[in-house]
DNA sequence: GCTGATACCAAACAAACGTTAGGCCGGGCG
DNA sequence: CGCCCGGCCTAACGTTTGTTTGGTATCAGC
C-alpha cells in the first residue's frame, strides 16, 4: 500500500503510454499544419489510427490534448536552447545569442511538430488553455531575458537597447519563420547566422567614425 | 438611364453599402480578437446588429467576407507605408526603413482591425482564401523588397546581408507585436525607433575603432 | 395603388462538432 | 479456468456550424 500510495502520488502512470504519445504526435502535426480550431478530434483520431471516442480513454477533453501538446513544445525548445547554451561554455554574449537563435530555430523546424505547433496556435487557443500553459512559456522567456541581461552586464550589448524589446524582436523574427520557412530552400544555420549578424551588428555598413550624414537620427540626440 | 447604365457597369453599387462595410468592420474586430475559425457567422451578424442569414444579402459566403477583409487589411498597410515613404522624400535608406517600420506598426495598431486581423489569421484561413488574397500581399512585399534593394544599391545597407531574409526578419519582428503589444504600455514610435536602431546598427556596441567603452550611452539619452 | 427592389428576419437544413454511453475483445492474474 | 480491466469500437447525444428558403416591412417610381 505504501508503494501503491507512492505511485499514485506521482503522475498517473510511471511511464507515459505509447498511444498517448502517438495521439499527441498526430495532434501536434495537425495543429501545426492547420491551426487549432480547424482540427477536429476526429481528424486527430484518424491520424492516430483510432476513432474519436477512443481519445477519451487517454484525455478528458480536446483542451487537455492541446494543453499538454503546448507544454511539450515549450519544454522542448527550452531544453534545446539551454543545452546549446551550456555546451557553448564561456564565450562572449554575441556568440551565445547566435547559439541560442540557432537552437531555437532548429527546435522549431527539426524537432517534431510540438514546438512549431505550440508557437503557431498559442494565440488562437481558448483562454483557459493559455492560462494553463503560460507558466512554461514564462520560464522560457525569463531564460532569454537572463541571457540578454548577462550580455548587457558584460558589455557585449549596448546599454541603450531595451532588452525586453530586443527579446520580443528576436522571438518575432524567429517565430515568424513558421509562416515562410520551407525545409530545403535555405539552411537553418545560414538563417541563424544572418539573424545573429543583423541583430548584433546591424544591416547598415559600419559607421564611419566622423561622418556626419548619418549621425542625425530622429529622436535620438546626437552624441556629446 | 445612361448614368444608371454606367453605374451598373462598375462594381455592383457606385459606392459601397454602409451595412457591407459595417459587417466587415465587425468581422475584422472579431477575427483579430479570436482568430478565423473561432468566429461564427452568427457572431459577426450579432456584432453587426443582424441575424446570420442576412449576411448572405451582402456576401455569398464566409470565405468572401474574410477574403475581402484580408485584402482591405493589406491594402491599408500598403497605402500607409507608401504614403509615409513618399512623404519622407529623398533621405538615406536608413531613415526610410525606420519610417516604413513606423508606418507599418501604426497601421497594425492604430488603423482599425483590418490590418491586424489580416496578419494574424492569414496563415489559418482556408487555402482557397489564401490563394485569392495572395496577390495583394505579394505586391506589398515587393514594395519592401524594392525599398531595401534601393538602400543596398545606394550603399546604405551592407552588401553581405540577404535582403530577402532581412525583410522576413523585419516582418517577423513587427508582426509578432500583435502577440504582445497592448496599446498604452509602450509607445509605437519608441518601438519603431528601437527596432530601426537594432536592425540598422545592431545591439552590440559599435566595434571599437580605438576607444572601447566611452561609446556607451546610458538610458534613452537626456533631452537636448 | 400597384410593382419591384432592397434589406432584413424566422426557421429550417444537413453536416460537423465535442462528448458520452455501452459493448466487444484479448491478455494478465487470481 | 474464470475474471477483470485496459483499449478500442459503434452509436448516439445535444449543440453549433455554414447555408438556404420563404416571408415581411419599407420605400421609390410609374
Does residue B209 have a pLDDT over 90? Answer: no
- pLDDT for the residue A186: 85
Other CB atoms within 10 Å distance of the CB of residue A14: 7
CA distance A124 to B33: 9
With CA of B65 and C1' of each nucleotide, the nearest comes out as D18
Spell out the SS3 assignment of A91-120.
CCHHHHHHHHHHHHHHHHHHCCCHHHHHHH
Backbone angles phi, psi at B113, to 5 degrees: -100, -5
Rounded CA-CA distance A172/B147 in Å is 21
- DSSP secondary structure string, A7-45? HHHSSSSSS--HHHHHHHHHHHHHHHHH-STT--HHHHH
Instruction: Give the side-chain half-sphere CA count within 13 A for B223.
Output: 0
Residues A156 and B220: their CA atoms lie apart, in Å, by: 18
**How many Å apart are CA B136 and CA B111, to the nearest integer?**
18
Confidence of residue A94 (pLDDT cuts 50, 70, 90): confident
**Looking at residues A26-38, what average pLDDT do you find?**
96
A28 vs A113: CA distance, rounded Å: 5
Å from the A41 CA to the C17 C1': 9
The interaxial angle of helices A62-88 and A18-34, nearest 10 deg, is: 90
Nucleic strand C contacts from chain A, 11-40, CB < 7 Å: 39-40
Closest CA relative to residue B75, chosen from B153, B127, B133: B133
Phi and psi dihedrals of B183, rounded to 5?
-55, 140
Q: Tell me the per-residue pLDDT of B82-121, one tens digit each, with 9 for 90 and over.
A: 999 999 988 898 899 999 999 999 999 998 899 999 999 9
Distance CA B53, CA B61 (A): 10
Mean pLDDT, residues A5-31 taken together = 69
Among A133-137, B7-11, B58-62, the least confident range: B7-11
What local confidence, expressed as pLDDT, does residue A207 receive? 60
| Confidence class for position A224, pLDDT limits 50, 70, 90 | very low
pLDDT tens by residue, B140-192: 999 999 999 999 999 999 999 999 999 999 999 999 999 999 988 789 999 99
A61-201 maps to which CATH number? 1.10.357.10
User: Could you give the 3-state DSSP secondary structure of residue B186?
Assistant: strand
A185 pLDDT band, cuts 50/70/90, is: confident
Task: Out of A35, A94, A158, name the one closest to residue B124 (CB).
Answer: A35
Distance CA A155, CA B196 (A): 21
Whether pLDDT at A48 is above 90: yes
Tell me which of A87-101, A200-214, B210-224 is least confident: B210-224
Interval A109-136 mean pLDDT: 94
- Scan residues 160-219 of A and list those with Cβ closer than 8 Å to B: 160-162, 165-166, 168-180, 186, 191, 194-195, 197-207, 209, 213-214, 217-219
Q: Which CATH number fits domain B62-201: 1.10.357.10, 2.50.20.10, 2.60.40.1730, 3.40.1360.10?
A: 1.10.357.10
Average pLDDT, chain A: 86
Instruction: Write down the domain spans for chain B.
Output: 62-201
pLDDT of A7 higher than 60: no
Tell me what percent of the residues of chain A surpass a pLDDT of 90. 75
**How far are the Cα atoms of A41, B29, B31, B52, B111 from residue B36, in angstroms, in the given order?**
18, 11, 5, 16, 20
Contact flag B201-A202 (C-beta cutoff 8 Å): yes
Amino acid at each position: 500500500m505504501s508503494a501503491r500510495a507512492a505511485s499514485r502520488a506521482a503522475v498517473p502512470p510511471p511511464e507515459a503510454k505509447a498511444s498517448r504519445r502517438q495521439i499527441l504526435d498526430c495532434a501536434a502535426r495537425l495543429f501545426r499544419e492547420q491551426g487549432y480550431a480547424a482540427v477536429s478530434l476526429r481528424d486527430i483520431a484518424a491520424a492516430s489510427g483510432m476513432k474519436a471516442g477512443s481519445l477519451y480513454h487517454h484525455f478528458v477533453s480536446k483542451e487537455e490534448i492541446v494543453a499538454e501538446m503546448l507544454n511539450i513544445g515549450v519544454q522542448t525548445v527550452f531544453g534545446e536552447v539551454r543545452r546549446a547554451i551550456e555546451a557553448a561554455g564561456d564565450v562572449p554574449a554575441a556568440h551565445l545569442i547566435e547559439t541560442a537563435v540557432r537552437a531555437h530555430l532548429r527546435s522549431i523546424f527539426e524537432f517534431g511538430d510540438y514546438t512549431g505547433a505550440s508557437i503557431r496556435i498559442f494565440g488562437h487557443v481558448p483562454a483557459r488553455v493559455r492560462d494553463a500553459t503560460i507558466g512554461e512559456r514564462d520560464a522560457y522567456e525569463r531564460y532569454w531575458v537572463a541571457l540578454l541581461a548577462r550580455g548587457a552586464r558584460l558589455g557585449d550589448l549596448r546599454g541603450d537597447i531595451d532588452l525586453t524589446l530586443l527579446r520580443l524582436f528576436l522571438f518575432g523574427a524567429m517565430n515568424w519563420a513558421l509562416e515562410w520557412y520551407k525545409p530545403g530552400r535555405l539552411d537553418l544555420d545560414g538563417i541563424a547566422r544572418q539573424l545573429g549578424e543583423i541583430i548584433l551588428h546591424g544591416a547598415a555598413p559600419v559607421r564611419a567614425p566622423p561622418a556626419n550624414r548619418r549621425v542625425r537620427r530622429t529622436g535620438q540626440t546626437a552624441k556629446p
